[in-house]
Structure 1
Amino acid sequence: MTLGKSHASLIVALALGLASCQSEDKPPQPRYVSDYRGYTGAADGVTQRSQKLYFIEFRSRYALSYGHTYVVFGRTDKSGRMINPEVAGLAPASTDAAPYVLGHFIPVPAETGASDGDLEEEYRSASWRVMLTEAEYQKTVAFIRQLQAKSKFWQATVNNCNAWTGEIAKFMGFKTPPIWLRPQQYITQLREMNVG
């Protein structure tokens, strides 16, 4: 009986992983900016308050596979341009495809920093920037550092980049969508669930 349950669990996990890959990405979505309390608008139409020059940006990018979800965080100048941004996200700790493929079945070693293409605008598929005060920013970055320190494995159906980024969103008090969405859909739904 146990063998049957483990096979059923494996089939369900594999089906969820494959289901998340079945839709197609849209063209790049507009950049959205909100303050921590929920005001939102397109980046071009938002006047930033002078006390909110810190940000965390929930972002997705295109890739050869179904994409990647991660956060970019740091400080902006008064016109909203990033100053020395940092990137954090969960991904297999290899540029080789084998761990990525294997990670759809079993956990594989992970890394939590920047990956190729994360800050290149042509690969951005969706983004939601949340403007923060310095105190809000410091609290959020401390949580990101803790999450990075304890995140050792990536697995596509249970502990993927959406789930990891969602932990940061939950820490900030935001609702999160299901982790089995494509990254572009995940970031879009994350924003839509949390802003008016």
Structure 2
Amino acid sequence: MTRSRGRISFAVLAAIAVTACQSQDKGPQPRFVSSYAGTTSQQRDQGYFIEFRSRYALSYGHSYVIFGRLSKSGAMISPEVAGLAPATSDTAPYVIGHLLPVPAETGVSDGDLEEQYRSASWRVMLTEAEYRDVVAKIRKLKSEARFWQASIYNCNAFVADIARSMGYKTPGIWLRPQQFITRLREMNGG
């Protein structure tokens, strides 16, 4: 009985992972900017932000966050990136990660800071205190995230953990990253 349940569970997880990969990305979505709950216009002028972002990739894409400060002209100043991906540029662990957990990294990956690959984004302006709180939560999450697995703990799940720590509602993790970021923004009035 236990073996058949295990096989059924595995089959369901594999079907979810495969189904999530079947839709198509749209062209780059417009940029959206919001304020964190209670942030005033004066506080936003301090230029602290977190941006929930997705980008195109050879596979179905990648979701991650960029955070930092903005210059008066709106340019990012020394942005930091947090996202979850297999800890290699080799494709074999990525493929294996659709079945079994593989070692993960939580920093910047190729293409994250290149505008031409951005597929969707939602920037949230923060006060300095809000920013410090969010960054502390991101650093803690980065230190705890050790494995990537496509249907259980993927890049969307990692970003969802960050969003939930800020009090946001999150969509299911099996969406394509562009759809995930767009739905995250829509669910939270962004």
- 1:3-82 maps to which residues of 2 (within 5 A)? 3-37=3-37, 51-82=45-76
TM-score w.r.t. structure 1 length? 0.93
Q: Aligned AA for 2:11?
A: I
Question: Does residue 1:107 correspond to 2:104, yes or no?
Answer: no
> Distance in 2 between the 1:14 and 1:193 partners?
27
- 1:146-157 maps to which residues of 2 (within 5 A)? 146-157=140-151
Contact 2:36 2:126 in 1 (8 A): yes
- The residue that corresponds to 2:178 in the other structure is 184
Contact 2:35 2:44 in 1 (8 A): no
- The residue that corresponds to 1:42 in the other structure is none
- RMSD, aligned α-carbons: 1.5
Indicate the percent of aligned positions where both proteins have the same amino acid.
66
Aligned match for 1:173, one of 164, 167, 172: 167
Deviation at 1:80, TM superposition (A): 1.8
Question: Does residue 1:118 correspond to 2:112, yes or no?
Answer: yes
TM-score w.r.t. structure 2 length? 0.96
Q: Aligned AA for 2:110?
A: D
Aligned match for 2:188, one of 171, 181, 194: 194
> Distance in 2 between the 1:48 and 1:161 partners?
33
Q: Aligned AA for 1:84?
A: S
Q: How many residues align?
A: 189
- The residue that corresponds to 1:96 in the other structure is 90
Contact 1:31 1:127 in 2 (8 A): yes
- The residue that corresponds to 1:136 in the other structure is 130
> Distance in 2 between the 1:167 and 1:20 partners?
19
Deviation at 1:38, TM superposition (A): 8.3
> Distance in 1 between the 2:136 and 2:92 partners?
33
Summarize deviations over 1:17-76 as a string: whole Å, max 9, x none: 01110100000000100010289xxxxxxx886544100000000000000000000000
Moved over 3 A (4+): 47-52
Summarize deviations over 1:127-185 as a string: whole Å, max 9, x none: 00000000000000000000000100000000000000000000000000000000000
Contact 2:51 2:66 in 1 (8 A): yes
Change (3 A) 1:80 1:112: same
> Distance in 1 between the 2:28 and 2:63 partners?
14
Deviation at 1:194, TM superposition (A): 0.3
> Distance in 1 between the 2:44 and 2:174 partners?
37
Summarize deviations over 1:90-114 as a string: whole Å, max 9, x none: 0000000000000000000000000
Deviation at 1:77, TM superposition (A): 1.1
Name stretches of at least 5 consecutive residues in structure 1 with no aligned partner: 40-46
Contact 2:170 2:184 in 1 (8 A): yes
> Distance in 1 between the 2:174 and 2:42 partners?
33
Contact 2:43 2:126 in 1 (8 A): no
| Secondary structure of the corresponding residue to residue 141 of structure 2 | helix
